[in-house]
Structure 1
Amino acid sequence: MDRVKTAYSRTKMDYSPATLSFRGDAAPLEEPFRETYVALSLRRVRIGLAVGVAFYTIFGILDLLLTPAVAPTIWLVRYGIVVPIAVLAFLATYARWFPRYMQPILAGVVFAAGASLVAIIVLTPPPTTYTRYAGLILISMFGYTLLGIRFVWATAVGWTLALLYMALSFLLVDRPMEAELNNSFYLIGANLLGMFACYSIEHGLRRDFYLAHRLQQEEDKVREANEELAERVRERTARLESANEALRVEMLVRSRAERALRDSEERYRLLVENSPLGILLVDRHGWIVDVNPALLDIMGSPSAEATRAINVLTFPPLVETDIAEDFSRCLETGEPVSADRPYTSKWGKETHLRYHLAATRDPDGAIIGVQGIFEDIGERLQMEGQLRYAQKMEAVGQLAGGIAHEFNNLLTIINGYADMALQSIGPEDALHEELREIRVAGRRAAELTTQLLTFSRHQTQELRTLDLNGVLTSMDRILPQLLGEGITVEVSQDPDLGAIEADVGQLEQVIMNLALNARDAMPEGGAFQIRTANVDVRADDPEAPPNIEQGCYVLLSVSDTGAGMAREVQERVFEPFFTTKDQGMGLGMAAVYGIIEQSGGQIRVDSDPGRGTTFEVYLPRIDAPCDIEPVEEAAAAAAGETVLVVEDQVSVRRLASRVLRRLGYTVLEASHGPEALEMLEAKPTPVDLLLTDVVMPKMSGTELADRVRREHPGVRVLYMTGYAANALGERGVLKPNAAVVQKPFTANDLAARVREVLQAEPE
């Protein structure tokens, strides 16, 4: 090992980490390296300049397409300044004086290209100017990696352009602050990445040059030694000439063998030190003799010295996990051992190890130690567990979506006819109360399908800017009734609470589900507390959820004084269908988790048995005025329009048709797409609206709509579906701006949506 260290010290390059320039004993190599660097880079520089001019010229097409108003001015900068500069630089590469001034010339070309792009950004009107910064990233990365600019010059130009962009952009460009911060963040990140790439490229070239120089020096020394030895041999007497020749040959062979040994040791050292697997050597008595850096990281050891003080046969963390027993068996029997075991180091690192132990032997075959190869598979096992959980959630989500779709078709019929019946009779009618109970039960069933969709995160959201305090105030009568007698309700609201963006119905569902969970935890009564506050989360905040991003949030804290939860219950509290209650389906907390995740927030649970439970919901805080609750208006009646209803479910089709006929529409009915197309061809008067289900046999609703739009321009389209509209949009079934009425819908829902689509601007 000492020989390895000596060989390594001879080849260690002395350079400045900041500028990469050679220093100390290696300082005289700086000028030869620069000359060599120019010779090696000249062809790449010419190709890079040619490619850069081509790309910079081609991108002028975007100026005409995106900003035709200012394209002449931008072209003046692009083709009148930058391209000539780059062409002159290309021609200069053939001049004798170019190697001396190559770096400032290339840096000047990159600066001219970048500065011109900053000027173009300032000249370009919004919103096109918002994405122009990407070109600056391309120019910076071009300078860092492709043009042969050394690290010092490339870094100076890259950061000068970045600072110039950020200064002029903030001062002269009218752009949202979020866009400014986003562009600056990506530009800074690109510069850091470019610096790393440029640094690595130049460092590698310098290292190769330095090693080649050192190799030449060593070869010169060996040659001089051989010549001196030959001179001495020639001076000897003729009687010793044959013996001296044999000695010279022997020394030459030995020299080559020693060099081969040094090379072999160096290769072994590099192989061991750079291996991602942990490697250690143990002597006959169990003491660690040597380790590589990867093993230090795997074992969580602070240093190699601390690790060499360990005896693997008695070290407590190894004894507790039976790893020590495996070492002992390998030392005693000489048989190899392979195993996977959990491991917690003396220094607190917890992981899972996979290892292979093999005995080492002396020339006589006696066991003198053990060689171990270790792999940290803790992160892999964790990722495999996360993958299995994600696959389970995906499968259950698909099941939930299918169940919700079938229920929604049935509930559309039940709720729709109940609404129509209630509208046909007065409150004094004997059947009014029974019909009202049917309608209430239908709404509860609709809420169940909503929970199924929410749990699978496929529920449609109607995002609005909300005041969380206002939502809580609107529920001040519901919560005491929901919690029941014996439970006191305390609400603490931050008067300066910021706004959030969420679905008000889903947010109310979160609060009610958390309240129901608290109620079930306090069968003998207790205290239920709700608190709101503005919080600023730091990246290293130990009190925040583990995966939350740094930023500004609105905190909703819900606490109870109930029985609390054990650690294993907390780990599964948000899993679908997990419940500790005798009744219930375990969807409530899963729905809470799905809503918070879908709203861009995070949730954290803090509980101990006997100490109560606190749920902390973090929702992103936004700077915007809250929406005003709209006044609900009755849907307008028909204005003589004709509606074609296409639905394969007979009951749903009849319901929709009856609702529309009562409103005065002329209604045509079809059970599938081909039948609808035949009716359109045979209909003497035009159809104003196509009301179609999405999923149907023979032809889907989207295929039917495309045919109708193509063959009968002017017909409006309204889809009805029991699946979540946003889920269909994510899968590409529906276009993002498609008009949809969600099943189960009421008569008023359908009437309002039909009127809205008919009165909308033509597509």
Structure 2
Amino acid sequence: MLLTGIATGIDFAFPAFSAHLPLLPYSLAAGITAWFFGFQPGLLVSLLSVLVVGSFFLPNQSFSADLVGLLRLALAGCITAMICWLIDRRTHTRQLIEAQKNHAEEQQQRLQAMLSSAARIAGMGSWEYDIVHDRLEWDDETIRIFGVTREAFGGNIASFFALVHPDDLDALKAMQVRALASHGIIEMEYRIVRPDGTQRRVYDRGQVTRHEAGKPAQATGMMMDVTEQRRAEEARREIEDRFRAIFENSAVGIALTNPNGVFTAANHAYQRMVGYTEDELRSLSFIDITYEEDRPVNLELRAQLWQGRLQQFQMEKRYRHKDGRLFWARNTVSLAPGTETTPRFGMAIVEDITEQRLLEEQLRQSQKMEAVGRLAGGVAHDFNNMLNVIMGHCEILQEKLTAEDPVRKKVEKIEAAAERAANLTRQLLAFSRKQILLLRIMDLNATIGQMRSMMSSLIGDDVELVIRTGRDPGYVKADPGQIEQVVMNLIVNARDALTQGGQVVIETSSLEINDENLADHRPVPTGSYITLSVSDTGCGIKPEIMPHIFEPFYTTKEQGRGTGLGLSIVYGIIQQSDGHIRVASEPGSGTTFTIYLPCTNGHPAKIAEGAGECIADGGSETILIAEDELLVSEFTRTMLESAGYTVLEAHNGQEAIEIAKEHNGHIDLLLTDVLMSGGTNGLELAARLSSLRPELKVLYMTGYTADLIGRNHIADLQNRLLQKPFTANALRRRIREVLSGA
């Protein structure tokens, strides 16, 4: 409307102009309106222009002429408005297209920058190869991966090959040939050598495109520096290999279990321990091979572990081997943390402690036996002194009573009871390893052969006796009498195990125990041995009884069939002889006792002719008695004085020394108890008196002296030892032997 008003103003202002061209300003107004505001506003301006012109500038013309002019004005305005609008639309469209193009280019640049940034962050580069013209283009990341500059890179396949590690080049070329000839996929991992000499490993993947004729035209792809990734994988593999080596070669058992307790892996040591292969274990739970009595504690500890109340736990429990036997093991169990893809798992480190348990039990048994032995030895020592007095006075009474005297019978019964009591004390001393062993080299095979008839009569006619001695002589250093007692006790034990006949087998052999067979003979250490085994086909020994069989006075026999000292004596004698004893038994299948005695060099000494001949009783020499037990001292004095000897009596070592110093006459013999109160024992007394009276001979009385004298001195003193309790005749004979130098 404004433009129409302006056009009208022009016509009024310039009448001469409006008279000839009154429509021109209005056409321009319509065109300008259409150009800026669109076709419809331009059309409206055209209509208004027609009304204005018709009203003000064409009043004197004819109606027809006026109508034609107005129509022309309207048509001209419409055409002008249309043309201006179309021109405006084209211009606007062109501007819009240009803006969209600019926006798209900006978006593409932004995406390209983002892609380049992502590729740089990921270490991934791209490449494009024009096969026909041999032009190779790399992006910035590929340039960075190869460590070259864009100017220095030749931009062809030869420049690329020059950077590939020589050892990988042939394989890369062969792969490219195959890709061009077949499927068109290029994929390989290879090494490159940068200009500075450093090596990197890259992963390369591309695709070959072909012309319509099928010939290769172009290849595009991407590559990534995987050096650090491969180093990490190599380090992980090295750790895994190291763990696998430790796992498989560990001396202790290692087992892995899932949350349900089912085995997932087990090393060789664990498989050997339980007797199952790894495949067999994968179908078993740890509880399946745990001894029934140990399961509740094991399950409770495991529950606390998986609930997080324990970081790890350790327990000693029994496993049941595949063959059914039980063995002890120490288990240290912990949890390994899981990941997003793997759950937590349990890991048990298992150590077989069966042997340790056995040694601990043997130590406890040995300590218990040692304690009982000390008690038994102490009792036997005091008891022997009392028996010595009883038996000695019985002997004195018998000498004074006639054979017809009724009192003599009573005295003989007292003496018999004392003899049985003395035998019991000897057994206690044998068990406590406090008796005197007269050691000499002996042939065990010969001893067994000499005992055949005695053993046959002992076991009876309904039991078969089988004796197998080794081909080589079985030389050992032992007390023959004590070894015979060991054999007899084992024979009696075997006979009592046979309720309805059977077989007893006695066997000797030479054995060398080394590292290879040590486990079969534990706890016997390595060395050379002569073994003596006594086997029976009897009822066997129950497992709960086995730990007690060597305890004194322990017996499963009915009353009257044993004192419970037989095996205790065997144990004591063998221990005192530096030997060992093992027992193997199965209820219902019999028992085997095996004795190991150390081999010795040398041969048994021949017994001199005339040895053991009786020497006349009595004499006139002077004897110094040193005995702290008053009753024994008085009895001994009486015996010696009745045999014609002059007796000097002392009740301890110090008193004996004073007497020896003050006595003016000759002292021929010192008769001393080895173990005395007062601070000076018999050995010390003899040593001190030998400096005062070098000619003095010594006879020791003993009932409990093995520890005091020592094994190394017993052989030297065995001809100067008198075992308590002794008789008057034995005392007088031994004194004559010492005084005569026999």
Task: Judge same fold: TM > 0.5, yes or no.
Answer: yes
The more displaced of 622-631 and 410-419 is 622-631
Paired residue secondary structure (2:670): strand
How far residue 760 of structure 1 moved from its aligned partner, in angstroms, is 2.8
Q: State the distance in 2 between where 1:448 and 1:642 align.
A: 34
- Indicate how the Cα distance of structure 1 residues 631 and 697 shifts in structure 2: closer, same or farther if over 3 A, else same: closer
Structure 2 equivalent of residue 590 of structure 1: 568
Match of 1:715, as an amino acid? L
CA distance in 2, matches of 1:256, 1:541: 48
| Cα distance in 1 for residues equivalent to 2:237 and 2:676 | 76
The aligned residue for residue 352 of structure 1 is 328
Distance 1:345 1:226 in 2: 64
Deviation (angstroms), 1:402: 0.5
2:439 and 2:715 in contact (8 A); partners too: no
Q: In structure 2, how many angstroms separate the alpha carbons of the residues matched to 1:679 and 1:409?
A: 24
Q: What residue is the counterpart of 2:688 in the other structure?
A: 707
Q: How does 1:448-459 map to 2 (within 5 A)?
A: 448-459=424-435
2:624 corresponds in structure 1 to 644
Alignment of 1:274-673 (within 5 A): 277-283=252-258, 288-301=263-276, 305-306=278-279, 310-311=282-283, 313=285, 316-318=288-290, 322=295, 325=299, 329=303, 333=307, 336=310, 338=313, 339-346=315-322, 350-362=326-338, 367-463=343-439, 465=442, 467-473=447-453, 479=458, 503=479, 505-507=481-483, 509-510=485-486, 513=489, 517=493, 527=501, 566-569=542-545, 572-583=548-559, 585-596=563-574, 598=576, 600=579, 602=581, 608-609=587-588, 632-673=612-653
CA distance in 1: counterparts of 2:466 and 2:198, whole angstroms: 95
Amino acid at match of 1:681: K
Equivalent of residue 727 in structure 2, options 746, 750, 753: 746
Cα distance between partner residues in 2 of 1:545 and 1:372: 30
- Which structure would you say has the larger Rg? 2
Deviation at 1:444, TM superposition (A): 1.0
Report if aligned partners of 1:518, 1:528 keep a CA contact under 8 Å in 2. Answer: no
**What secondary structure does 2:647 align onto?**
strand
Judge which range, 742-751 or 426-435, deviates more.
Answer: 426-435
Conserved 8 A contact 2:652-2:678: yes
What amino acid is the match of 1:668?
A: L
Matched ranges for 1:84-233 at <5 A? 227-229=196-198
User: Structure 2, unaligned stretches of length 5 or more?
Assistant: 1-190, 202-224
Report the Cα distance in structure 2 between the residues aligned to 1:591 and 1:667, rounded to whole angstroms.
Answer: 38
Contact 1:283-1:289 at 8 Å conserved across structures:
yes
Q: Distance in 2 between matches of 1:224 and 1:443?
A: 104
Q: Is the 8 A contact 2:455 2:491 kept in 1?
A: no
Distance 1:298 1:495 in 2: 37
Closer, same or farther: CA 373–666 of 1 in aligned 2, 3 Å: same
Residue number among 646, 653, 660 corresponding to 1:680 in the alignment: 660
- Any conservation in 2 of the 1:300–1:348 contact (CA below 8 Å)? no
Q: Secondary structure at the match of 2:555?
A: coil
Contact 2:654 2:680 in 1 (8 A): no
| Worse-superposed segment, 749-758 or 407-416 | 749-758
Q: Report the Cα offset of residue 755 of structure 1.
A: 2.1
Structure 1 pair 311/447, CA: closer, same or farther in 2 (3 Å)? same
* 1:659 aligned counterpart, secondary structure: helix
User: SS state of the match for residue 643, structure 1?
Assistant: strand
> Which has more strand, going by share of residues?
2
Paired AA for residue 698 in structure 1? G
- Per-residue deviation, residues 42-87 of structure 1 (Å, max 9, x unmatched): xxxxxxxxxxxxxxxxxxxxxxxxxxxxxxxxxxxxxxxxxxxxxx
Give deviations 1:431-470, integer Å, cap 9, x for gaps: 3322222222221111000110112233223356464344
Aligned to 2:703: 722
1:594-629 superposed Cα distances (whole Å, 9 cap, x missing partner): 3455555757576755x8878787889997588699
Query: Could you tell me whether the CA contact under 8 Å between 1:635 and 1:755 is conserved in 2?
Result: yes
Q: Distance in 1 between matches of 2:286 and 2:234?
A: 41
* RMSD, matched Cα: 5.0
Query: Whole-Å Cα distance in 1 between the matches of residues 200 and 494 of structure 2?
Result: 98
The alpha-carbon deviation at position 228 of structure 1 amounts to 2.2
Q: Which residue of 2 aligns with 1:760?
A: 741
Asked if the contact 2:430/2:569 (under 8 Å) is kept, the reply is yes
Distance 1:496 1:361 in 2: 62
Aligned residue for 2:43? Answer: none
CA offset at residue 367 of structure 1?
4.4
Distance 1:635 1:412, change over 3 A: farther
Q: 1:735 to 1:686 in 2, by over 3 A?
A: farther
**Offset of 1:495 from its aligned partner?**
11
* CA pair 536-684 structure 1, distance change in 2 beyond 3 A: closer
User: Which residue is equivalent to 2:150?
Assistant: none
Contact 1:499 1:626 in 2 (8 A): no
* Structure 2 counterpart of 1:407, one-letter code: F
Give the number of aligned pairs.
509
- Tell me the SS of whatever aligns to 2:369: helix
Task: Quote the sequence identity (%).
Answer: 35
Contact map agreement 2:529 2:596 (CA 8 A) in 1: no
| SS of residue paired to 1:581 | coil
Which deviations, in whole Å up to 9, do the C-alpha atoms of 1:554-591 show, x marking residues without a partner?
86858687x76545445643332211235354112322
The one-letter code sitting in structure 1 at the alignment partner of 2:723 is Q
Alpha-carbon offset, residue 416 of structure 1: 1.7
Alpha-carbon separation, structure 2, partners of 1:530 and 1:294 = 40
With over 3 angstroms needed to count, the CA separation of the structure-2 counterparts of 1:411 and 1:630, relative to structure 1, is farther
Q: Which residue of 2 aligns with 1:692?
A: 672
Cα distance in 2 between the residues matched to 1:690 and 1:461:
23
Q: Does the 8 A contact of 2:583 with 2:591 survive in 1? A: no
Q: Distance in 1 between matches of 2:369 and 2:706?
A: 18
Distance 1:529 1:414, change over 3 A: farther
Q: Please tell me the residue identity of whatever aligns with 2:416.
A: V
| Residue number in structure 1 paired with 2:97 | none
SS of structure 2 residue aligned to 1:228 = coil
1:265: Cα distance to partner?
Answer: 5.7
| Pairs within 5 Å for 1:221-300 | 227-229=196-198, 277-283=252-258, 288-300=263-275
Amino acid at match of 1:398: R
Equivalent residues of 1:461, 1:503 under 8 A apart: yes
Task: Give secondary structure in 1 for the equivalent of 2:318.
Answer: strand
Q: Structure 1 residues 695 and 574 mapped into 2: Cα distance closer, same or farther (>3 Å)?
A: closer
Letter in 1 for 2:736: R
- Deviation sequence 1:135-189 (CA, Å, 0-9, x none): xxxxxxxxxxxxxxxxxxxxxxxxxxxxxxxxxxxxxxxxxxxxxxxxxxxxxxx
Shift of 1:343: 0.8
1:553 Cα deviation after fit: 6.0
Contact 1:280 1:372 in 2 (8 A): yes
Report which of the two has the higher share of helix: 1
- Cα distance in 2 for partners of 1:624, 1:547 equals 29
Kindly tell me: are residues 341 and 749 of structure 1, through their superposed partners in 2, closer, same or farther at Cα, counting changes over 3 Å? same
Q: TM-score, normalised by structure 1?
A: 0.55
Secondary structure at 2:675's aligned position in 1?
A: coil
